[in-house]
Amino acid sequence: MDTIFALASAQGKAGVAVIRISGPDAFVVGAKICSSLPAGGKGLRNLKTQAGELLDQALVLTFSNPGSFTGEDVVELQTHGSVAVISALMAELETYSELRVAEPGEFTRRALENGQLDLTQVEALADLIESETEAQRKQAQAVLAGGLSTLAEAWRSKLIRAASLIEVTIDFADEEVPVDVTPEVITLLASVHEGLEKEVAGVQIAERIRDGFEVAIIGAPNVGKSTLLNALAGREAAITSEFAGTTRDVIEVRMDLAGLPVTLLDTAGLRETDDHVEGIGIQRARQRAEAADMRVFIAESDDDLDIEKRDGDIRFSPKADINPDAKDAISGKTGQGVEQLVQHVSSVLVEKSSHAGLASRQRHRLSLQAALQSLHSAQDVVQRGPEFYDIAAEDMRSAIRHLEMLVGRIGVENLLDEIFSSFCLGK
């Protein structure tokens, strides 16, 4: 396997830059550019060109395989983070025939191939790098620490035990088996079934934590929806005017509420109109409102917006700046009711997020649902009696395969290029 290198820290000027070298010749090249590698795995060294010119002084760290991120010999050079130093050092490393520049995600891909991470942990690492809120960080860290892998392995072990008991019965079909294994098999399958159902139920919320919740602000034209959005965003995100129908498309503003990623949607005012473009905006407003996780209605109690209120939705009377004494009134101009709105949205979404599972991607959901479907079939067949145990055993093996696909043991080669393409060169 080639020895690779890349800048592992962010591009541009910084206090410190980290350049990572990984592979069988990492120590050989490291010893050349540093004159000698530090004993004990860390130390200061002068980095020099092959012609003897000083490049920089760096903190040099070494990690012997398999005790590194990639599972290979790794050298990390922590240099001063100027653009000039980074460029000079990268250019020097390119002169070594033993090295080549890493491809996007190649360090992490080697960690997967060398058994340092499984596929769910790789995906969690990508999510951690992309995380913007505390909830996203916590969710990614839980999976990166092996939370989903541990669950999958526990389910797999129980299914293997159940399948082995069934197969023993099949092998001795013509003899009297001293113990009836059916009760233990049923118990094992029920335990896995309960765990899978719970995790599948939490996938949608986990996906929302990863991708962001959507909160739609809806109401008739000119009730102050865009002004409210601007107040919540703290900037002029939407155009406001005294003319009805100003907003004709859905305007999105990303926010962090109570540590959760939330996208606020300012939608076109809901009304009957002969204006073709405004009509398209109203249709989109209704579609996004129906798909949103919760809706904020800016409307009087007797206004009919033809959108059914759901649990968690909230209604405010419009334009508290004109009618400050109106019940539950809100105004983006004066700020009245805005704090109440933020607190309500936060509390609803925090409560929703408490039901999140560890699985947070469509791939996870599909694998878990497929495993659950095979498990359902196995449970039904086991109840039909020993003469159908061979079918039950195959259903169990099918469920096991889907769990193995979840963690990347089998059948995911076609996904790897897509997954690692989202990583930077240094990861």
81 marked among binding-site residues: no
Q: How far is Cα 193 from Cα 394, in angstroms, rounded to an integer? A: 16
267 marked among binding-site residues: yes
187 marked among binding-site residues: no
Q: Under a CB-based contact definition with an 8 Å cutoff, are residues 118 and 405 in contact?
A: no
Q: Under a CB-based contact definition with an 8 Å cutoff, are residues 209 and 261 in contact?
A: yes
Name beta bridge partners: 216.
265, 295
319 marked among binding-site residues: no
Query: What DSSP letter does each residue of 274-332 carry, written as one string?
Result: --HHHHHHHHHHHHHHHHSSEEEEES-TT---S----TT-EEEBS-TTT-TTSTTB--T
46 marked among binding-site residues: no
Q: Under a CB-based contact definition with an 8 Å cutoff, are residues 26 and 72 in contact?
A: yes
245 marked among binding-site residues: yes
Cα 96 → chain centroid: 38
333 marked among binding-site residues: no
- Residue 4 burial by CB count (10 A; 0-12/13-18/19+): exposed, middle or buried? buried
Q: How far is Cα 122 from Cα 418, in angstroms, rounded to an integer? A: 12
64 marked among binding-site residues: no
244 marked among binding-site residues: yes
Q: How far is Cα 324 from Cα 337, in angstroms, rounded to an integer? A: 10
242 marked among binding-site residues: yes
* 94-100-106 Cα angle (round to 5): 135
222 marked among binding-site residues: yes
In sequence order, what are the residues at sequence separation of 6 or more whose Cβ sits closer than 8 angstroms to the Cβ of residue 183?
none
268 marked among binding-site residues: yes
266 marked among binding-site residues: yes
Q: Under a CB-based contact definition with an 8 Å cutoff, are residues 421 and 122 in contact?
A: no
Identity of the residue numbered 61: L
Annotated binding-site positions for GTP? 222-227, 241-247, 266-269
Annotated binding-site positions? 222-227, 241-247, 266-269
Annotated binding-site positions for Mg(2+)? 226, 247
